[in-house]
Chains A and B, each alone.
Chain A
């Protein structure tokens, strides 16, 4: 008999009371109504635990680092217990062949029923020599492990898009994982690294509801990547008022004006930084006086200088007429939303098909 999530938690010394608290927290962090709490609790009491294999390719470990500092210690503990990180290079106890054996065992015992989480990506040049994992190219290990997985999570910009190691001239041909894995649903959780609470949120959702969260046309969970940094930025009023920082530590910087002219990529970046924030909700790059570099967007590393101004967005200052501004903005946003919705629907259809074929 495979243990349920609840049994695993109890074994980890988590009380019933903490468990219920965790369920409420989960509902809240996923933006669900309180009525979902008993449903989450029921799911966790009755569903067998889903094992997770966490593989590292070409990367810098920043995703793991972010993950282990998730804001709510309770959520993190519980997620760690649930995951049990059956295989994770950075944290696990076993080493060498013993560690390889664990992957083999999970693959066999939970065939088609485990989640593969991937941090980093496979380099394809020189037959994969740039990232060797247990004597074999990482790309082989990745494909094999993905083959029997239920779903694949692409942690961070590396697994999702390639990130800085794929920057021109991409010496190793670092390749996002969706280019080498086929026939599996892939959930992209981009960012360099992704926000801890976004990571735990995605995992919790998948483990509790046993399905993948709704994704946008780029494969990102909508609940966390549905809005631009700019849309919810606390400095947005200064953008709208045409009040900009012109130099590091100038008068405007001290007043917390908008960083658009310092190269901020907030207007073109979809992520939860301006709402969820970093390091336990304390702050985020814009709050530290530095523009957003757009690290959750595809190709952010090769779009010109990080300090160049974003062009092609409709900026307006104090001189503009509010009516003109409003009309123009509504037109643009309306069109984008329609396109977005249409593509998502197609993507969802495809996803169901994939699942159905299995």
Chain B
């Protein structure tokens, strides 16, 4: 009985470079190794630069989640200076972050995830003709719906922040861009258009109705009541059993999202064994035993990055972050588990995490956040301060935690004599696509793939699982 080794990659329709190596025996995945094949060395080039320059360099870790990177850096500098940002600045930050995160959720669903179901392999399924016409990569009609709606929505970035990707307006003290009443109106109008797109094409229902679905029974009832792309996905998911594949450790991490003037919209926390606990930042460490890097497991506050391309046991550039000993999953599903969304909690309690659960959590966030953005916009007081000034101390340590679309993002910073002495980044996909640690425990995706059935060696299902995490490989290794 032989074990067949297959490599899936280079992966398309993900951000950055990714390969997955599978050991297959008897039409079942025995072991998976996830390899991030791109390394740039941000943690090596940031030391020596003025602390404030992190605001310009770090967003360039990723062209897709650059605002999240900006916010993590600004939050770390804020912590360093011991300052409270201006209220309007906090609202601007929330709005900018939400714009990026929601656009990412939309891109993932329409351009990256759904086109897999338009593959000829599914030609015999009852839903195939409709799904293929709508989602075929590049040529499906859904891309023509989604791209203009997304581009129009992102005009908001222009108004709020000047330029995206690689926005500059987000500061430790708030935002460099004061909004006038006319700007607020224009933004509100863009938000209305986006809401209309979501309600007519994606949900076929009001956002509030979708956001308030509270149980699996609610969802089942709702499914039978109309059209829209989410209902289309749910039908595909049911037919293919996507709710039964892709389960990782069912241990979830969230740093808490959208820190506005009245606290966070969703709280920080750690979910394990069926309950949520307070986040303990000290529990986080990074292991490099299977990465092309030298060093031992260290907390990010003392983290090191020393590449060693010849390391024998290694198979990726990605470090292995752990929460205590736990392998955790992060992302929209984790955020909603920690925040306690009733439908998400009920779904996972019943069936565990899965491809379906991850997609559903992302779509719920679209429905929840757009109305909240409207309230943030109304809370802005144009005449009040947008940014406060505070000098940065010459020496200190700081942590900046935030939630990117794909999950928990943390920056750990040490400053000496006004210059960066250490800068360590732990990104969402670093958690999800982590390699094995020194105990040999595989990362979240590796565990999700192990044990999967791959009848006739068809790896399409593997692709669904990989994409369900919405990986961002540029962030992962940086």
Taking Cβ atoms with an 8 Å cutoff, the residues of A that contact B are 12, 56, 58-66, 68-71, 73, 76-77, 80, 84-85, 88-96, 99-100, 123, 126-127, 129-135, 163-165, 167-172, 174, 192-193, 247-249, 253-254, 273, 277-280, 282-291, 293, 295, 301, 305-307
Kindly identify which residue among B48, B111, B162, B178 contacts A278, using a CB–CB cutoff of 8 Å: B162
Known contacts A77-B144, A283-B158, A306-B53; A60/B176 CB under 8 A: no
A-side contacts of B12, CB under 8 Å: 88-95, 99
B-side contacts of A307, CB under 8 Å: 50, 52-53
Cα–Cα distance between A69 and B163 once the two chains are bound (Å):
12
A-side contacts of B128, CB under 8 Å: none
Cα–Cα distance between A21 and B118 once the two chains are bound (Å):
32
What are 12 A-B pairs with beta-carbon distances under 8 A?
Answer: A62-B66, A66-B63, A68-B147, A77-B144, A93-B118, A167-B45, A248-B387, A249-B388, A283-B159, A289-B178, A305-B49, A306-B53
A-contacting 9-mer, from B34-42, B208-216, B236-244, B362-370: B34-42
Instruction: Please classify the interface of chain A as helix (H, G, I), strand (E, B), loop, or mixed, using the class held by over half of its residues.
Output: loop
B-side contacts of A88, CB under 8 Å: 12
Cα–Cα distance between A286 and B317 once the two chains are bound (Å):
37
Known contacts A92-B137, A99-B12, A282-B158; A253/B164 CB under 8 A: no
Kindly identify which residue among B19, B151, B171, B309 contacts A248, using a CB–CB cutoff of 8 Å: B171
Q: Using A100-B10, A123-B39, A133-B10 as known contacts, list a sample of 18 further A-B pairs with CB atoms less than 8 Å apart, ordered by residue number in A.
A: A58-B38, A60-B63, A68-B151, A77-B144, A89-B17, A126-B307, A130-B317, A132-B38, A167-B57, A248-B171, A248-B174, A249-B178, A249-B388, A279-B154, A283-B162, A285-B162, A285-B163, A288-B161
Q: Which 7 A-B pairs have the closest CB atoms?
A: A62-B63, A288-B162, A282-B158, A279-B158, A171-B41, A93-B137, A289-B176
Cα–Cα distance between A254 and B382 once the two chains are bound (Å):
11
Report the minimum CB–CB distance from A289 to chain B (whole Å): 4
Contact call A171/B44, Cβ cutoff below 8 A: yes
Cα–Cα distance between A16 and B169 once the two chains are bound (Å):
43
Cα–Cα distance between A192 and B147 once the two chains are bound (Å):
21
Contact call B38/A130, Cβ cutoff below 8 A: yes
A-side contacts of B307, CB under 8 Å: 126, 130, 171
Kindly identify which residue among A61, A77, A279 contacts B163, using a CB–CB cutoff of 8 Å: A279
Report the minimum CB–CB distance from B62 to chain A (whole Å): 5
Cα–Cα distance between A92 and B115 once the two chains are bound (Å):
10
Contact call A163/B17, Cβ cutoff below 8 A: no
Contact call B137/A254, Cβ cutoff below 8 A: no
Cα–Cα distance between A73 and B31 once the two chains are bound (Å):
45
B-side contacts of A305, CB under 8 Å: 49-50, 52-53
Is B457 engaged at the interface, CB distance under 8 Å to the other chain? no
Is B148 engaged at the interface, CB distance under 8 Å to the other chain? yes
Kindly identify which residue among A95, A288, A290 contacts B8, using a CB–CB cutoff of 8 Å: A95
Is B198 engaged at the interface, CB distance under 8 Å to the other chain? no
Chain A residue nearest in CB terms to B51: A305
Contact call B138/A91, Cβ cutoff below 8 A: yes
Number of A-B contacts (CB under 8 A): 239
Is B320 engaged at the interface, CB distance under 8 Å to the other chain? no
B-side contacts of A164, CB under 8 Å: 40, 42, 45, 57, 60
Known contacts A170-B45, A249-B176, A288-B162; A293/B56 CB under 8 A: yes
Cα–Cα distance between A132 and B39 once the two chains are bound (Å):
9
Report the minimum CB–CB distance from B151 to chain A (whole Å): 4
Is B15 engaged at the interface, CB distance under 8 Å to the other chain? yes
A-side contacts of B232, CB under 8 Å: none
Contact call B163/A284, Cβ cutoff below 8 A: yes
Report the minimum CB–CB distance from A198 to chain B (whole Å): 13
A-side contacts of B154, CB under 8 Å: 69, 279
Report the minimum CB–CB distance from B97 to chain A (whole Å): 15
Kindly identify which residue among B8, B9, B61, B138 contacts A92, using a CB–CB cutoff of 8 Å: B138
A-side contacts of B119, CB under 8 Å: 93
Is B319 engaged at the interface, CB distance under 8 Å to the other chain? no
B-side contacts of A131, CB under 8 Å: 17, 37-39
Known contacts A59-B474, A130-B40, A289-B176; A69/B151 CB under 8 A: yes
Cα–Cα distance between A89 and B17 once the two chains are bound (Å):
9
Contact call B166/A129, Cβ cutoff below 8 A: no
A-side contacts of B159, CB under 8 Å: 282-283
Is B222 engaged at the interface, CB distance under 8 Å to the other chain? no
A-side contacts of B168, CB under 8 Å: 285, 288, 290-291, 293
B-side contacts of A174, CB under 8 Å: 40
